């Protein structure tokens, strides 16, 4: 089953992260400016420090191994992508942060798998790592208005499929089981709801298509308005030239 240790501390931390996210997004929309870039950089720095501290702790404990500790699981790769998105604001990285963060990492926030209690270091690493990805996704897209572009869903799906194939190759060569592509997890995860191995891989892909589409829907109307505006802008000078030629 899902293990949640120290529920009051965990849900209080999630509440603080939620309030911080809402405050940042509202402030960014109402008062955009250079401060938003600084805020994005700081969010990326928090994630980077969390990732480094987690790796250092594994090494200190002597539990780091290439078979299980490389950042190849999608949630770990989402951390690296989110850091890069916060620091560079490259559109495709922000799209990956939005779709991976809101479809995947948010699930980890809502259904935590924690086996250590507050104030253990791993407790903070889990809470900060997961909630900060969601905060980053919301701040970059909703707060700073870096909306997913047309074709974002198939683009992110293609990248996700390519990355999954790469991890599958690594698993086959090394005998590891990153992303649970070779065998199901021992502990309870949401994959248990998607069927037995290997069928849950295909089911997860279908769920990804649905979730990514739902996450993209809020931006459809804005894209249509943008297309209409560009069409009018292009048609204006053309009409004027046509009118001048006919005169």
* Residue among 79, 25, 21 at smallest CA distance from 47: 79
118 secondary structure, DSSP code: T
Q: Is 184 helix (H, G, I), strand (E, B) or coil?
A: coil
pLDDT over threshold 50, residue 244 = no
47-95 pLDDT tens trace:
999 999 989 988 988 888 888 888 898 888 999 999 999 999 999 999 9
Per-residue pLDDT averaged across 13-42, rounded? 97
Question: Do 121 and 53 form a contact (C-beta atoms < 8 A)?
Answer: yes
Categorise residue 245: left if φ over 0, alpha if ψ from -120 to 50, beta otherwise. alpha
Using CA atoms, how far residue 136 sits from 31, 39, 83, in Å, is 18, 10, 9
Confidence tier at 109 by pLDDT (50, 70, 90): confident
83-100 pLDDT tens trace:
999 999 999 999 999 999
pLDDT over threshold 90, residue 121 = no
Identify the pLDDT of residue 216.
98
pLDDT over threshold 90, residue 219 = yes
* pTM given for the model: 0.88
């Amino acid at each position: 089953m899902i293990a949640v240790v120290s529920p009051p501390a965990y849900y209080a931390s999630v509440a603080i992260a939620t309030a911080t996210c809402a405050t940042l997004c509202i402030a960014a929309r109402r008062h955009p400016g250079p401060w938003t870039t600084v805020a994005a950089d700081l969010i990326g720095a928090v994630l980077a420090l969390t990732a480094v501290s987690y790796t250092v702790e594994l090494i200190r404990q002597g539990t780091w191994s290439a078979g299980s500790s490389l950042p190849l699981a999608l949630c770990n790769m989402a951390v690296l992508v989110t850091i890069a998105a916060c620091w560079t604001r490259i559109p495709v990285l922000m799209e990956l942060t939005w779709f991976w963060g809101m479809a995947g990492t948010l699930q980890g926030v809502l259904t935590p798998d924690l086996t250590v209690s507050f104030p253990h270091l791993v407790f903070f690493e889990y809470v900060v790592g997961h909630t900060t990805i969601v905060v980053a996704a919301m701040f970059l897209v909703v707060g700073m208005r870096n909306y997913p572009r047309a074709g974002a869903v198939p683009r992110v799906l293609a990248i996700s499929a390519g990355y999954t194939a790469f991890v599958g190759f690594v698993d086959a060569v090394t005998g590891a089981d990153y992303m649970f592509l070779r065998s199901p997890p021992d502990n309870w995860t949401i994959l248990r709801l998607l069927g037995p191995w290997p069928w849950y891989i295909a089911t997860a892909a279908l769920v990804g298509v649905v979730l990514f589409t739902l996450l993209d829907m809020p931006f459809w109307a804005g894209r249509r308005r943008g297309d209409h505006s560009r069409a009018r802008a292009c048609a204006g000078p053309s009409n004027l030239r046509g009118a001048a030629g006919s005169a």
